[in-house]
Amino acid sequence: MIERVLIIGTGLIGASVGLALRAAGFAGRIDGWDVNALELSAATAMGALDGAAGNEWGALELARQADAIVLAVPVLAIKDWMEKLAPVTGAGQLITDVGSTKLEIVELAAKLFDDPQQKAIFLPGHPMAGKESGGAMLAEGTLFNNAMWLFTPCSEEMAPIEKDWRMWVGLFGTRSLDMDPRRHDEMCAWVSHLPQMLSTALAALLEEKFGDAPEIGAIGGRALRETTRLGASPYSMWRDVAMTNTTPITETLLALEQRLTHVRENLRTPGLREEFDLANKFRVRRS
C-alpha cells in the first residue's frame, strides 16, 4: 500500500501528479525535490507537496523512506536518477517515471532493477498530457482527466504496489494502455514527436520569413494559430526526446519530406485531390 510518495521533478507534470493525488483522495505524505528551487517552492505553496528536500542528498534520503517514487524529469535525467536510486531503494518499493520515450529507460531498468526480491520495482510510464509551456505554476489537479496514461512494464507479473499505483493513476481520471517500449517510441514519434517538429519548423520558417510583420496576425487566423501552437514549446522540453528517439523521429521526418514533395509535385494534378481525400478519411475516422 502506498502511503509515502516522492516526486522528483516538480514542474508541470510532477506538481500536477501531487495535486491529482490529493484530488483523488490520497491521504498519505507527498514529498518532492527539484533542481530549481523556485519550482519546488511553487509546488509546495500550491499544495502539491507536504515537504521538500533541500538538496539531492536529502532527496535520496526521502527515497529510502518512500513507497513510490515518481521521476518527473526529462528522459536523460530520469536515467541519471535511476542510477542514483538503484543502490538506495529495495524490495517493496516502486519507482515509476513520466518520460516521453521508453525504450532506453526499459533497457536500463532491466539492468538496474532485475531482482524484485531485493530491488525496487520499476514501472515505466508516460501520461499523454501536458501544455505548450512547463512549470509548476501551470500545474493542475485535473491535467490528466480523460488522458491516456501509457505503461511499458518491465515484467508480466504485477506486484501489489504496482497495482496500487495503477489504481491511483486511474483515479486521476485517466485511461491506461500497456505497450511494448519499442512500439511506444515508434507510435509516439508519429503522433506526438512529428507534430511537434512540424509545428516548430513551420513557426521558425514564418519567423525567419516575416518576423514581426503585422499582416501575419491580421490574416493568419485560427488555422495558423493551431498549426503553430506547439511551436511555443521550449527546447528544454524536447531535447531529450530527440536524443533518445532519434531514429523513429528521423524516419517520420523523412516520410513527411517525401509526402510534401508529392503534394508539391501534384499541385495541378488529380493527385492533390487524392491527398485531400486521404486526409479527410483520417479525420472522419477520429471525429
Nearest of 146, 191, 140, 8 to residue 83 by alpha carbon = 8
Q: Within this chain, do residues 71 and 112 fall inside the same structural domain, yes or no?
A: yes
Q: Within this chain, do residues 60 and 138 fall inside the same structural domain, yes or no?
A: yes
Q: Within this chain, do residues 268 and 219 fall inside the same structural domain, yes or no?
A: yes
**Residue ending a domain, choose from 179, 209, 243:** 179
Answer whether 0.85 is exceeded by the pTM: yes
Q: Within this chain, do residues 233 and 260 fall inside the same structural domain, yes or no?
A: yes
Question: For the domain that residue 126 is a member of, what is the CATH number?
Answer: 3.40.50.720
Q: 15, 43 in Cβ contact below 8 A?
A: yes
Q: Within this chain, do residues 128 and 192 fall inside the same structural domain, yes or no?
A: no
Nearest of 153, 167, 147 to residue 121 by alpha carbon = 153
CA pseudo-torsion sign 19, 25, 27, 28 = negative
Q: Within this chain, do residues 117 and 236 fall inside the same structural domain, yes or no?
A: no
Residue appearing with cell numbers 526499459 = 106
Q: Within this chain, do residues 15 and 123 fall inside the same structural domain, yes or no?
A: yes
**Residue ending a domain, choose from 125, 157, 179:** 179
Q: Within this chain, do residues 134 and 197 fall inside the same structural domain, yes or no?
A: no
Q: Within this chain, do residues 223 and 199 fall inside the same structural domain, yes or no?
A: yes
Q: Within this chain, do residues 150 and 190 fall inside the same structural domain, yes or no?
A: no
Give pLDDT, residue 183. 98
**Residue ending a domain, choose from 164, 179, 194:** 179
- Average pLDDT per block of 10 residues along the chain, 287 residues long: 97 97 97 96 96 95 98 97 97 97 98 90 96 88 96 92 97 97 98 97 95 84 90 92 98 98 97 96 88
User: What's the total number of domains in the chain?
Assistant: 2
CA distances from 16 to 113, 176, 214 (A): 27, 17, 37
Q: Within this chain, do residues 81 and 113 fall inside the same structural domain, yes or no?
A: yes
Q: Within this chain, do residues 115 and 239 fall inside the same structural domain, yes or no?
A: no
Give pLDDT, residue 36. 95
Residue range(s) defining the domain that contains residue 273: 183-285
